[in-house]
Amino acid sequence: MHTQRVTRIDTRIRVQHLTKKKLFIKTWGCQMNVYDSARMADVLASLGYQPVEAPDGADMVILNTCHIREKASEKVFSELGRLRIEKNRQSAEEDGRRMIIAVAGCVAQAEGEEIMARAPFVDMVFGPQTYHQLPEMVARASRAAGERVLNTDFPVESKFDFLPGESAATGVSSFLSVQEGCDKFCTFCVVPYTRGAEFSRPAAQILAEARRMVIAGAREITLLGQNVNAYHGDGPASGTTWGLGRLIRELAEIDGLLRIRYTTSHPRDMDDDLIAAHGDVPALMPFVHLPVQSGSDRILAAMNRKHTADDYRRIIDRMRKVRPDLALSSDFIVGFPGERDADFAESLRLITDIGYAQAYSFKYSARPGTPAAGLDDTQVPEAVKTERLASLQQLLNAQQVAFNESSIGRTMPVLLDRSGKRPGQLMGRSPYMQSVPVDAPQRLAGTVVDVRITAAHANSLAGELVLADGVTGLTAETRTTPAMNFSEPPACEVTA
């Protein structure tokens, strides 16, 4: 009886194929995963793979997974069940095609061996730090013997040193990974175990990639990291180190780059220089995602957050002093083990004190292998979690609606970054990440235009172009940036 071998990767090779093949990538989770999926497509382009919009008929399917949400692995296995049917259908046909199924990302990193055991039809399982080795993995999986590849090690080399210089996925608004990993070890979080230790890319490498993005049409770049403001990369000059504030200032000098954002940040790493950059750099958007998780010092200590609620308040006060129009979003967890009514009340008080434009909130769910998962004797009943989440979201939703409604009557700069839902319409984003549909000619695609806000909804605004210089939609910013046609990047399906 033939036994398939599970092979771990320890070397790299470069392979070139001219035959065009179909690649489908489904992405769950954060912006970092979206960036990683795009770069996987770039790596596989050298093998002749071209992205498609559905798995039907694909030569390769990659599930790029997220381990943050509840029942993450169950979602992956459910999707794999559907893919198995498609793989069997292809195998039954006479053209000799064989679909390669791969599982990537944080679920792969955390549960790779279980995936290989439970899903014997999966060909490759690899973590977030090894997708630069895809050419060799594909070569092994494509052999007649059908080797199965498990590659969840943390390689010594940085994947960024081996990725293609050009990316096919550059859009008007683009992501750029500058930092990965986490050393904070919050007791509820799997990221340190799935993404590894904190690592910052060299500044020169980031600047070069950003310039290529702008040449390809990017007008807004969002800097990504698990703790992006922990960035401390090697500077271009020998022996120098740049923080995120310095990096942002240098990026702002790139001609044609109109907007800069960063996510996700940690209160512990919000240093003086980064705070000052919010007042010094006009291109740095006045919208910051700064997760706090709880307003209770007791729960924050149990989470190992290493800051208090008042520490967080002081950081926000300092940021608003240098940028009075700053708006914030955050993350909240309700029902963390041991959370009492008084602790939850402190979270509501913090939300009331800060006032958020947007926020994400979740019921605590244990992640295997994390310290908090072992706190069985202090688990909060599910019904209590549900009640608390509803109360918290009611307050947050009211704040978001109030923030959006405060925009009515204002004129805001909107970056038109994608096509609208109907002909003659473009979609854009305000400085505060609100979606804004605008009736506008195609020639304004990829530009920043002034829009007078006429209506507000729960998650978006509506408005009309402001007349300036006698021409609809032209502003000082649009006159300095050539108009462009949207060339949709090879989209990866993204699932929250």
Domain count, the chain: 3
Domain match, 346 and 243 both: yes
CATH number, domain containing residue 422: 2.40.50.140
Residues 6+ apart with CB under 8 A from 95: none
Domain match, 273 and 347 both: yes
4 belongs to a structural domain: no
Q: Tell me how far CA of residue 247 lies from CA of 207, 241, 453, in angstroms.
A: 8, 10, 33
Q: Does residue 492 have a known ligand-binding role?
A: no
Domain match, 135 and 226 both: no
Last residue of a domain, which of 406, 426, 453? Answer: 406
Domain match, 401 and 413 both: no
40 belongs to a structural domain: yes
Q: Does residue 106 have a known ligand-binding role?
A: yes
CATH number, domain containing residue 365: 3.80.30.20
308 belongs to a structural domain: yes
Domain match, 321 and 287 both: yes
Q: Which residues pair with 362 in a beta bridge?
A: 333
CATH number, domain containing residue 72: 3.40.50.12160
Domain match, 395 and 414 both: no
The pLDDT assigned to 480 comes to 34
The pLDDT assigned to 7 comes to 42
Domain match, 176 and 251 both: yes
Which has the closest alpha carbon to 245: 319, 137, 146?
319
473 belongs to a structural domain: no
Last residue of a domain, which of 105, 127, 151? Answer: 151
- pTM, two decimal places: 0.82
Domain match, 237 and 129 both: no
DSSP collapsed to 3 states, the chain:
CCCCCEECCCCCCCCCCCCCEEEEEEEECCHHHHHHHHHHHHHHHCCCEEECCCCCCCCEEEEEECCCCCCHHHHHHHHHHHHHHHHHHHHHCCCCCCCEEEEEHHHHHHHHHHHHHHCCCCCEEECCCCHHHHHHHHHHHCCCCCCEEEECCCCCCCHHHCCCCCCCCCCCEEEEECEECCCCCCCCCCHHHHCCCCEECCHHHHHHHHHHHHHCCCCEEEEECCCHHHCEEECCCCCCEEEHHHHHHHHCCCCCCCEEEEECCCHHHCCHHHHHHHHHCCCECCEEECCCECCCHHHHHHCCCCCCHHHHHHHHHHHHHHCCCCEEEEEEEECCCCCCHHHHHHHHHHHHHHCCCEEEEEECCCCCCCHHHHCHHHCCCHHHHHHHHHHHHHHHHHHHHHHHHCCCCCEEEEEEEEECCCCCEEEEECCCCCEEEEECCHHHCCCEEEEEEEEECCCEEEEEECEECCEECCCHHHHCCCCCCCCCCCCCEEEC
Which has the closest alpha carbon to 231: 241, 222, 240, 221?
241
> What is the token pair recorded at 57?
């008929």
Residues 6+ apart with CB under 8 A from 149: 6, 7, 8, 9, 123, 124, 125, 126, 137, 140, 141
11 belongs to a structural domain: no
Cα–Cα distance between 203 and 236 in angstroms, integer?
6
Which has the closest alpha carbon to 493: 68, 79, 132?
79
Cα–Cα distance between 58 and 48 in angstroms, integer?
13
445 belongs to a structural domain: yes
Give the pLDDT of the chain (496 residues) as one tens digit per residue: 333 344 444 434 444 445 689 999 999 988 888 988 998 999 999 899 999 999 999 999 999 998 876 677 888 999 999 999 999 888 877 566 789 999 999 899 988 999 999 999 999 999 888 888 899 999 999 886 678 999 988 875 677 776 776 665 678 999 999 999 999 999 999 889 888 889 999 999 999 999 999 999 999 999 999 999 999 999 999 899 999 999 999 999 999 999 999 999 999 999 999 999 999 999 999 999 999 999 999 999 999 999 999 999 999 999 999 999 999 999 999 999 999 999 999 999 999 999 999 999 999 998 888 999 988 889 999 999 999 999 999 999 999 999 999 999 999 999 999 988 889 999 999 999 999 999 999 999 999 999 999 999 999 999 999 975 534 443 333 333 334 444 333 334 444 4
- Predicted confidence (pLDDT) per residue in 247-289, tens digit: 999 999 999 999 999 999 999 999 999 999 999 999 999 999 9
Domain match, 331 and 219 both: yes
Q: Does residue 30 have a known ligand-binding role?
A: yes
485 belongs to a structural domain: no
Cα–Cα distance between 36 and 59 in angstroms, integer?
20
The pLDDT assigned to 10 comes to 42
The pLDDT assigned to 157 comes to 65
Q: Which residues pair with 243 in a beta bridge?
A: 232
- Show the domain range for 419: 408-465
Last residue of a domain, which of 151, 181, 204? Answer: 151
483 belongs to a structural domain: no
Domain match, 136 and 186 both: no
Domain match, 146 and 169 both: no
Q: Tell me how far CA of residue 450 lies from CA of 328, 462, 478, in angstroms.
A: 22, 12, 9
The pLDDT assigned to 166 comes to 67
Domain match, 90 and 189 both: no
